[in-house]
Amino acid sequence: MPMAYKVRTSTLPLLPKGAKPIKVLHFSDLHLHPRKKREIADIKTFIDLKPDLVISTGDFLAHKDGVDIALNALGELLDLPGLFVFGSNDYYAPSFKNPFSYLRKDNGERKLGEKLPWQRLQKQLTKRGWQDLNHNKVKLKVNGVVIEARGTDDAHLELDDYRKVEGRVSNTADIAIGVTHAPYERVLAGMAQDKLDLIFAGHTHGGQIRLPWPGGSKSLTTNCDLENWRSRGVTKVNDEPWLNVSAGMGMSPFAPIRFVCPPEVSLITLTA
């Protein structure tokens, strides 16, 4: 069965001179529930991309039974160094809303479904060795490179407080990365002020519905205050950190439509 997702590849020369390359697999927004048989099979093939580091920017779940499904789907990836944060759908199941409401300006109202067992997911991921970056700062060594990573909890539910992890990058770090679910400008600004090199985020679904446009396609929304042109892939503004936004693998079961925006994962090769 052919893969039903796209691998978006980028190369960023951010490592010190002489460093070995690092392949970072970044995925987001799995929104897993028992009926997602095809998506589960696709996630099991991520290991074939042979990453050195795995980063998830949240929304693993979409159902109260999603924890075991997620752990089973991730499989061998859990044996690799990994970093994660949570999104709103890890805390609350999606609830019905008009799919077109995604296209309206965000008014801050949140319609929350039933509470999900995120604590169990957190416990199992950390038990397997992945590091929880929800308001956490860690250092890890990958291919001989010292990475300082910091993250925030979900900004879409206003659970973020960058002050908990702010501060200068350690001078023993070779590269500094930020990880957050929803790329709200306030989180990006905090990370830019501390001069991080690269930020990973999800949440946008790449717009989910895109219009064919000269040179590719155009997003109608990011479902946050990030500019639409940055809704997926690697972008950079002035001297701010590079930003990689994953367009995600899944979607809410109440808005199961992607148009000109296939499910995807990012494979970013960091080089000297």
* Section 251-255 average pLDDT: 70
Any domain includes 1? no
Sheet strand arrangement including 82-84:
6-12, 264-270, 22-27, 53-56, 82-84, 131-132
Cα distances from 57 to residues 134, 214, 215, in angstroms, run: 10, 30, 28
Please tell me the distance from the alpha carbon of residue 12 to that of residue 22, in angstroms, as a whole number.
Answer: 10
Cα distances from 43 to residues 76, 79, 148, in angstroms, run: 11, 15, 27
Task: With H, G, I as helix, E, B as strand and everything else as coil, classify residue 78.
Answer: helix
* Section 97-121 average pLDDT: 72
Q: What is the pLDDT of residue 216?
A: 81
Query: Quick one: pLDDT band at residue 250, thresholds 50, 70, 90?
Result: confident
Query: Quick one: pLDDT band at residue 106, thresholds 50, 70, 90?
Result: low
- Domain around 224: 6-95+115-270
Please state, as a whole number, how many other Cβ atoms lie within 10 Å of the Cβ of residue 13. Answer: 9
Residue type, 8: R
Nearest C-alpha neighbor of 122 from the set 175, 82, 94, 182: 82
Q: What is the pLDDT of residue 113?
A: 80
- Our CA angle for 125, 127, 133, nearest 5°, is 50
Given a cut of 80, whether residue 17 has pLDDT beyond it is yes
Q: What is the pLDDT of residue 18?
A: 97
Q: What is the pLDDT of residue 101?
A: 56
Q: What digits encode the pLDDT tens for the residues 151-181? A: 999 999 999 999 999 999 999 999 999 999 9
Any domain includes 104? no
Q: Encode 121-139: b = buried (16+ Cβ within 10 Å), e = exposed.
A: bbebbeeeebbbbbbbbee
Any domain includes 124? yes
Please tell me the distance from the alpha carbon of residue 233 to that of residue 35, in angstroms, as a whole number.
Answer: 28
Q: What is the pLDDT of residue 235?
A: 97
Residue 235 φ/ψ, nearest 5 degrees: -140, 165
Any domain includes 122? yes
Any domain includes 102? no
Please tell me the distance from the alpha carbon of residue 90 to that of residue 30, in angstroms, as a whole number.
Answer: 10
CATH number at residue 218: 3.60.21.10
Q: What is the pLDDT of residue 66?
A: 95
3-state secondary structure 119-184: HHHHHHHHHCCCEECCCEEEEEEECCEEEEEEECCCCCCCCCCHHHCCCCCCCCCCEEEEECCCCC
Given a cut of 60, whether residue 98 has pLDDT beyond it is no
* Section 139-150 average pLDDT: 98
Any domain includes 61? yes
Given a cut of 80, whether residue 254 has pLDDT beyond it is no
How many structural domains does the chain have? 1
Q: What digits encode the pLDDT tens for the residues 200-228? A: 999 999 888 888 888 888 888 898 999 99
Nearest C-alpha neighbor of 133 from the set 42, 26, 35, 10: 26
Q: What is the pLDDT of residue 108?
A: 60
* Section 27-34 average pLDDT: 95
CA-based end-to-end distance of the chain = 37
Given a cut of 80, whether residue 253 has pLDDT beyond it is no
Any domain includes 101? no
Please tell me the distance from the alpha carbon of residue 37 to that of residue 123, in angstroms, as a whole number.
Answer: 24
The proportion of the chain whose per-residue pLDDT surpasses 70, expressed as a percent, equals 92
The proportion of the chain whose per-residue pLDDT surpasses 90, expressed as a percent, equals 78
pTM to 2 decimals?
Answer: 0.94
Any domain includes 109? no
